[in-house]
Amino acid sequence: MQSPQEILKSVFGYNEFRPFQQEIIEHALANQDGLAIMPTGGGKSICFQIPAILKPDVTLVISPLISLMKDQVDALRANGVETAFYNSSISDAEKQEIYSKAVNSQLKLLYLSPETLVGGIDWLQRIPISMIAIDEAHCVSMWGHDFRPEYQQIGQLRKHFSNVPFMAFTATADKITRSDIIEKLALEHPSTFISSFDRPNLSLAVRSQIPKKQKEKEIVSFIKQRVDEAGIIYCLSRKETESWSNFLNSSGINSRYYHAGLSSQERDAIQDGFINDQYQVICATIAFGMGIDKSNVRWVIHNNLPKNIEGYYQEIGRAGRDGMPSDTILYYNYRDVVLLNDFVQDSEFKDVYHEKINRMLKYAEASTCRRKILLAYFGEHLTEDCGNCDICNDPPAFIDGKIIAQKAISAALRSKEQLGINLMINVLRGAKTIEIFEKNLDKIKTYGAGSEYSFKQWQHFINHLINQGVFEIAYDENLHLKVSDLGKAIVESKQSIQLTEFSEKTTKSTKKKTSDKAGDNEVLSKLKAWRKEIAAKNKVPAYVIFHDATLNQLAQDLPLSINDLADIQGFGKVKIDRFGSDVLGIIKNSSSKISTYEKTLLLHEKGLNLEQIASERGISPQTVMNHLIKLFEEGKPVNLYRFVTEFEVQQIKTIRKKLGNTFQLKPIFDGLSGEIDYGKINAAIAILEKQKKQIN
């Protein structure tokens, strides 16, 4: 039997497991029940796919999302794994065919939607099942944020399949949900695996109380800096998704809207168009995204405050699944909070919901590293600030806020706490508006007391006073600002307060970062064009063929042989067989290829060693070695003796002779008891071959 590590390499083309993947896989192989909690994009699928491949029979995967199933099945098939899905979207004939394959153990994985279980369990009992994996397991719990009644059927399964191991997977971590999942699914002595929720490649930024026009400007400029890079804008209402999408289209950005009010055909078409890079932007309610596994979503913007941190984290997690740098921005204002609280007012769980909204707001209002706050919510504690959020990038400077606070508080008190934010600012600045005169606000003592600050500055200060609990917003009273006990203590000078300085922030932290490892652009665009063609031919999304990360690495490393291809992430055996020669052809035919070799040569001539060249160029030491050998063979001034000693070359020569002057590395490596590494063997062969030619 192959090891999980070997399957990871040969089927999926990856070199290393991510944290916990191996433990979870081994646990599953030992036929134990388990619960794995990993963030979106953390790599859950492989945790049940690899055991499924290694186990003799069929692994059932229960997943609530039909489109996600289809994606995973396509991706597995592209890697040569026998897989099918069974749900309401397929014909009876297909169902029959799939069922008979399953019964005969001709499938490694069978994806099922939970509704298919409702019809009864008898038919499943004829399938030889080696494991049952439950994806999005939080759907079974009322405490999760996405309860689905169909999921309750799964609990019944446990009774009928008492010898089959159950593995549950979710990206939702809070403790009640966790124990609820274990109970509802009747997991037996499950081990729980909680992987890090950190997604360091996602930048985090929050923009508070930005007027609509400015927001539009910011978002358009943000998107225009990201040519062809796909992203999602999440909105609270259907109407907003439509107006944003129309606005973006009129600004020359290719966008569509998506919400539950569209027919399912319309929704599928939009989703497919997004997956296949036909539409750059989707403006959507949170109905969108659950079912997509598009790995190259490069950014996510929230147009409103999300209703809980779990949802927010899952939504931003749809960006950058391929691990490449991706940006997220959250826009919010206090109206959002009113709306969100209204939504849940009649729910029997309203207290839980209010608390979740509150935590979300606290995050948005924070003035310390955002990632620390997010991870702390999921029970993880970063020891250092992240360096990739707006706060870390532009830490706020603090000033003594006593006088500012006192002015604002007294304005509130003197007007009987009947001021919303804007009206308060107008009072403080001594504005001459009809509302002020009608309400006689020009008569109070604080009128005009804050005219030294601009409207925006006051907005900033008042937000901050709200954040610190000096004012409370009366959500049920037109958003009037009420003075808290803390506020009263400040007016009486019993308490001091610090405020952050106002700075005219741009979307600084989210300016496009141009990677310093850009790779060969010509090769990259050729590879993308080729991928698009193949994807269309196979009727699958482009990323099922290869992820962006794979194409980027190809353009960077410019591999020239099948051997080199195996070093590229995402190139498993099946893909090397299917696409290897196409890809190599594209790289070889591309004119700028020489430059990467020349760059390596230049650094070599400067005297850098392998590791130094590798890190300078952002490629692997093996690739550098391959470059140098190629250059050496072409007669370029490369001194391979810098990497292998004359004595080692002689050792290799001797053993190689015994092996019939083989070019295969492994027998030589083994013959030398593994004491000389592959890089050196490669170099020695090149030296020996050249000597042979020179003698002839």
Q: Is 17 among the residues that bind ligand ADP (CB under 6 A)? A: yes
Residue 74's CB is within 10 A of a number of other CB atoms, namely 21
Closest separation in Å from C-beta 262 to ligand ADP: 25
Footprint on residues 377-406 left by Zn ion (CB under 5 A): 385-386, 389, 392
Q: Which does 386 bind (CB under 5 to 8 A by kind): Zn ion, ligand ADP, none?
A: Zn ion
Query: Which amino acid, 282?
Result: I
Task: Choose which of 130, 203, 245, 295 interacts with ligand ADP (CB under 6 A).
Answer: 295
* Minimum separation from the CB atom of position 535 to Zn ion (A): 37
- The CA distance from 212 to 191, in Å, is 49
Considering only residues 3, 5, 10, 18, which one is a binding residue for ligand ADP as defined by CB under 6 A? 18
Q: Based on CB atoms, which residue is closest to Zn ion, 376 or 529?
A: 376
**DSSP string covering 94-139:** HHHHHHHHHHTT--SEEEE-THHHHT-SHHHHTS-EEEEEETTGGG
Backbone angles phi, psi at 583, to 5 degrees: -65, -45
Q: Which stretch binds ligand ADP (CB under 6 A): 23-31, 38-46, 588-596, 680-688?
A: 38-46
Window 589-628: contact mask with ligand ADP (x via CB under 6 A): ----------------------------------------
Q: What's the closest the beta carbon of residue 70 comes to ligand ADP, in angstroms?
A: 14
Nearer to Zn ion, 391 or 544 (CB): 391
| Cβ proximity of 509 and 393 under 8 Å | yes
- Shortest Å distance, C-beta 369 to Zn ion: 3
| Burial of 290 from C-beta contacts in 10 A (0-12 / 13-18 / 19+) | middle
Distance CA 647, CA 651 (A): 6
CA distance linking residue 358 with residue 473, whole number of Å: 12
Sign of the Cα pseudo-torsion (666, 672, 678, 682, in order): negative
Q: In this structure, how many other beta carbons lie within 10 angstroms of the beta carbon of residue 470?
A: 27
Out of Zn ion, ligand ADP, none, what residue 44 binds, judged by CB under 5 to 8 A for its kind, is: ligand ADP
Residue 308 CB neighbour total at 10 angstroms: 22
Q: Applying CB under 5 A, which of residues 46, 230, 369, 631 lies at the interface with Zn ion?
A: 369
Q: Is 138 in the site for ligand ADP (CB under 6 A)?
A: no
Using the contact rule CB under 5 A, the part of the chain among 71-79, 129-137, 367-375, 665-673 near Zn ion is 367-375
What are the structure tokens assigned to 168, written together? 């549950």
Closest CA to 668 of 640, 689, 649: 649
Going residue by residue from 510 to 549, which x/- string records binding to ligand ADP, judged by CB under 6 A?
A: -------------------------------------x--
Q: What is the smallest separation between the CB atom of 370 and Zn ion, expressed in angstroms? A: 5
369 binds, among ligand ADP, Zn ion, none (CB under 5 to 8 A by kind): Zn ion
Q: How many other β-carbons are positioned within 10 Å of the β-carbon of residue 179?
A: 14
Nearer of residues 131 and 375 to Zn ion, judged by Cβ: 375
Which residues between 300 and 359 bind ligand ADP (CB under 6 A)?
A: 321-322
Residues 554-573 that bind ligand ADP (CB under 6 A): 569
From the list Zn ion, ligand ADP, none, which binds 18 (C-beta under 5 to 8 Å, kind-based)? ligand ADP
Between residues 206 and 544, which has the closer beta carbon with respect to Zn ion? 206
Reduced DSSP (H G I as helix, E B as strand, rest coil) percent helix, strand, coil of the chain, to 5: 50, 10, 40
**Among 19, 38, 40, which residue's Cα sits nearest to residue 316?**
40
Q: How many residues in the shown chain lie near ligand ADP by CB under 6 A?
A: 19
Q: Which phi-psi region, left, alpha or beta, contains residue 635 (left: φ > 0; alpha: ψ -120 to 50)?
A: left
- Which residue, 135 or 240, is less far from ligand ADP as judged by CB? 135
CB-based burial, 560-584: b 16+ in 10 Å, e otherwise: beeebbbbbbbbbbbbbebbbeebb
43 binds, among ligand ADP, Zn ion, none (CB under 5 to 8 A by kind): ligand ADP
- Choose among 48, 162, 57, 55: nearest CA to 102: 57
Give me the least distance between CB of 540 and ligand ADP, in Å please.
14
Query: Which of 46, 185, 374, 681 touches ligand ADP by CB under 6 A?
Result: 46
Choose the contact partner of 55 out of ligand ADP, Zn ion, none; CB within 5 to 8 A by kind: none
Q: What is the rounded CA–CA span in Å between residue 237 and residue 341?
A: 14
> Which residues share a beta bridge with 37?
170, 194
Residue 45 binding result from ligand ADP, Zn ion, none, given CB thresholds of 5 to 8 Å by partner type: ligand ADP
Does 34 help bind ligand ADP (rule: CB under 6 A)?
A: no
Q: Given the complex with ligand ADP, which of 50 and 419 has the nearer CB atom?
A: 50
Per DSSP (E only), the strands in 291-352 are 297-302, 326-332
CB of 57 or CB of 385, closer to Zn ion? 385
Residue 321 Cβ vs ligand ADP, minimum distance, rounded to whole Å = 5
Amino acid at 374: L
Q: Least distance in Å: CB of 132 to ligand ADP?
A: 17
Q: Are 114 and 64 in contact (CB under 8 A)?
A: yes
Looking at the Cβ atoms of 22 and 241, the one nearer to ligand ADP is: 22
CA 198 to CA 204: how far, in whole Å? 12
Residue holding tokens 């020891």? 383
Residue 532's SS3 state is: helix
Residues that bind ligand ADP (CB under 6 A): 14, 16-18, 21, 38, 40-46, 293, 295, 321-322, 547, 569
Residues that bind Zn ion (CB under 5 A): 369, 371, 385-386, 389, 392
